[in-house]
Amino acid sequence: MSSAPNHSDPSSDHEPLLDVRGLRVSYQSSRGPVEAVGGVDLRVGRGEFVGVVGESGCGKSTLLFAVAQLLSPPAAITDGSVEFKGQNLVRLTEKQLNALRWRDYSVVMQSAMNALNPVTTIAAQFKDAILAHDRRSAEQIRARSVEVLQLVGIDPVHLGSYPHQLSGGMRQRAMIAMALLFTPDLVIMDEPTSALDVVAQRSLMVQIKELQQLLGFAVVFVTHDMSLVSHFSDRLLVMYAGQVVEAGPTRQVFDAPAHPYSRGLLDAFPSIHGPRVPLTGIPGSPPDLAEPPPGCRFAPRCPVVEEACHRVAPALYPVGGVLSRCLLDAPDRRTPATPVEATS
């Protein structure tokens, strides 16, 4: 069942570039169907940088793959829509998708060493990518390849290099260059910095932000490293057990996280400034999505859990400028608990 137009993701007023509503993804496992993404809404405006944050198993990568229409069996989209520039990607055929891929949106994968072909040169891979989506002459291909490499700060002489001849940071930047070949409107990135060291990570993020401001594309950035994305994103979505548990402007989510999981996550980052305080992290582990708990999925680990939380599945409630999936933030909180049926 598709959700009512109750956008759980506040965004800018004008027509969003990407509008994901009620997206559900399930996959078959030997223990029955597992819902990896359970009804996610995501809106991205033009030129916006949206961070999707969560730990392993929260469904963020699955969400990303679903949005990019890259899921393969046994995983499949079971509900919801992905509106991109007015078209619902879920209902398009492969041919129609191909017309959009790389030109209107592109994807940067997690590990460049896995995504780049080790036996061909960078130039050959760029050429492949270009020719797969458009007719260009050899001249134009070369010119464009040089241009994108310069954009990311790689000396064009490396066009003739093989991936293993480049350092980790350079490979990752080459991936980003490849994603920008057609200057798409949306670039989806799946943890592009996780294989890099902290200094290279910082430098890559700065680069991405600069490029974004220069070329005006929107970014959906999936990561487990909340603090990394904090300086660069306009809005942040926090995912847990397949659901969005908090969404809002980045500064707001950081300065005043509403959901206990976001709070716990932020608290789990030891700081290098300020006094040294003992931290506790979040005890326990995420629920088994083959048998998710009734009620709130974070209840078993929540430090402020109440009795109703085990029974009632919370929806996303607006609180202080963000949306939070927590019963304690429900608008009728002050009245005695009447179980509210979740609508999304």
Contacting positions for another protein (CB under 8 A): 26-30, 32-33, 55-56, 74, 76-80, 90-93, 153, 167-170, 197-203, 206, 224-228, 230-231, 254, 264-266, 268-274, 276, 278-283, 285
Nearer to another protein, 111 or 203 (CB): 203
- CA 192, CA 222: separation in Å to the nearest integer? 8
Least CB distance to another protein at residue 211 (A) = 14
The Cα 221–Cα 203 span in angstroms is 16
- Closer CB to another protein, residue 193 or residue 330? 193
Asked if residue 211 lies in contact with residue 205, where contact means CB atoms within 8 angstroms, the answer is no
Q: Which is nearer to another protein, 42 or 129 (CB)?
A: 42
Q: Which is nearer to another protein, 33 or 318 (CB)?
A: 33
CB of 191 to another protein, least distance (A): 13
Integer angstrom CA distances of residue 189 from 22, 63, 105, 108, 310 = 21, 12, 11, 5, 35
Looking at the Cβ atoms of 31 and 334, the one nearer to another protein is: 31
| Distance of closest approach, residue 254 Cβ to another protein, in angstroms | 5
Report CA Rg, the chain: 21
Our CB check for another protein shows the closer of 162 and 254 to be 254
**CA atoms in the 13 A half-sphere facing the CB of 294:** 7
Contact 288, 34 (CB under 8 A): no
Q: How far is the CB of 166 from another protein (least distance, A)?
A: 10
Closest separation in Å from C-beta 196 to another protein: 9
Degrees to nearest 5, angle at CA 15 with 344 and 50: 65
Please say which residue, 142 or 224, places its beta carbon nearer to another protein.
224
CB of 303 to another protein, least distance (A): 12
What is the nearest approach in angstroms of another protein to the Cβ of residue 120? 23
Q: Residue 104 or residue 267: which is nearer to another protein going by CB? A: 267
